[in-house]
């Protein structure tokens, strides 16, 4: 008898039968209504496991757990079990309290940070913005070097420039007659760096009056119709 009464009480609590003991077909529950496996909630409401009540998705700051989820765009923070929106610049952050779009969670201070601008500090979890690199020595965001800027492995030169290894300066490919060396200060298209002192950029193949060479350092011959001849102790392309 006691077991039967207990079973009825449980079924009433779970909304499987009404107080008169009849099985019923319940309407979808509204906010705050009782709910169960057989009597679900309506719309976007969920049945909270602990209290068996229909709950709307949590708003920012509401309590939350596995069966009481947060609303769209919010996450359930693990420590406080509160619904939180994506962090803004400078907000605290961690695994269950992520940062908003375009921001990253800085590992050391656990703060949401935007990508670094030119001159900003940077490291592995505080990256630089588009087109910038994190300079290893000073940990600063740097744009690609322009002609004449200093450069090294983590401070590269811009498009079309090379980092000259002796002076560590960004240089454009050498023009006709410019000083050159290989491989960090090469000559431009259709030119080559002539061996000897000083090394300069000349046409490849050599034009009339330009120096020519044939030896262990390579062959830098004359264009068709010219020959390499010795003149004034120099090999010159001549007709």
User: What three-state secondary structure class fits 154?
Assistant: coil
B/e letters for 159-197, b = 16+ CB within 10 Å, e = fewer, are eebbbeeeeebbbbbbeeebebeeebbbbeeebbbbeee
Q: For the chain, which residues make up each domain, given as ranges?
A: 30-84, 86-131, 174-238
CA atoms 47, 49, 55, 59: torsion sign? negative
133 contacts 122 by C-beta, under 8 angstroms:
no
CA atoms 231, 232, 233, 236: torsion sign? negative
Q: What is the pLDDT of residue 209?
A: 92
- Comparing C-alpha atoms, which of 184, 167, 227, 205 is closest to residue 194? 205
Please check the confidence at residue 3 and state whether its pLDDT lies above 70.
Answer: no
- How many whole angstroms from its chain centre is CA 131? 11
Please check the confidence at residue 141 and state whether its pLDDT lies above 90.
Answer: yes
Query: Which pLDDT tens digit goes with each residue over 59-118?
Result: 888 888 887 888 888 888 888 888 988 889 989 888 888 898 888 888 888 899 999 999
Q: What class has domain 174-238?
A: mainly beta
CA 213, 187, 218 angle in degrees (round to 5)? Answer: 25
Query: Which pLDDT tens digit goes with each residue over 167-206?
Result: 889 999 999 999 888 777 889 999 998 887 888 999 999 9
Residue 107 per-residue DSSP state: T
Q: Residue 227 burial by CB count (10 A; 0-12/13-18/19+): exposed, middle or buried? A: exposed
Please check the confidence at residue 18 and state whether its pLDDT lies above 50.
Answer: no
Q: What is the pLDDT of residue 231?
A: 86
């Amino acid at each position: 008898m006691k077991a039967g009464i207990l079973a009825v009480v449980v079924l009433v609590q779970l909304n499987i039968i009404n107080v008169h003991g009849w099985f019923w077909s319940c309407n979808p529950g509204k906010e705050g209504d009782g709910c169960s496996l057989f009597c679900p909630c309506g719309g976007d409401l969920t049945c909270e496991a602990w209290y068996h009540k229909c709950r709307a998705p949590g708003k920012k700051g509401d309590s939350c757990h596995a069966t009481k989820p947060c609303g769209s765009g919010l996450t359930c923070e693990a420590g406080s079990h509160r619904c939180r929106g994506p962090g803004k610049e400078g907000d605290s952050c961690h695994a269950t309290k992520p940062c908003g779009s375009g921001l990253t969670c800085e590992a050391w201070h656990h703060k949401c940070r935007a990508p670094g601008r030119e001159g900003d500090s940077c490291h592995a979890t505080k990256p630089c913005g588009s087109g910038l690199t994190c300079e290893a020595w000073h940990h600063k965001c740097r744009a690609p070097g322009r002609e004449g800027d200093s450069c090294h492995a983590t401070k590269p030169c811009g498009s079309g420039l090379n980092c000259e290894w002796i002076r560590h300066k960004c240089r454009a490919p050498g023009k006709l007659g410019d000083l050159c060396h290989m491989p960090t200060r090469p000559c431009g298209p259709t030119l080559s760096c002539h061996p000897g002192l000083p090394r300069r950029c000349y046409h490849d193949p050599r034009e009339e009056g330009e120096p020519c060479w044939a030896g262990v350092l390579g062959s830098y011959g004359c264009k068709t119709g010219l020959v390499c001849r010795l003149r004034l102790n120099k090999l010159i392309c001549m007709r």
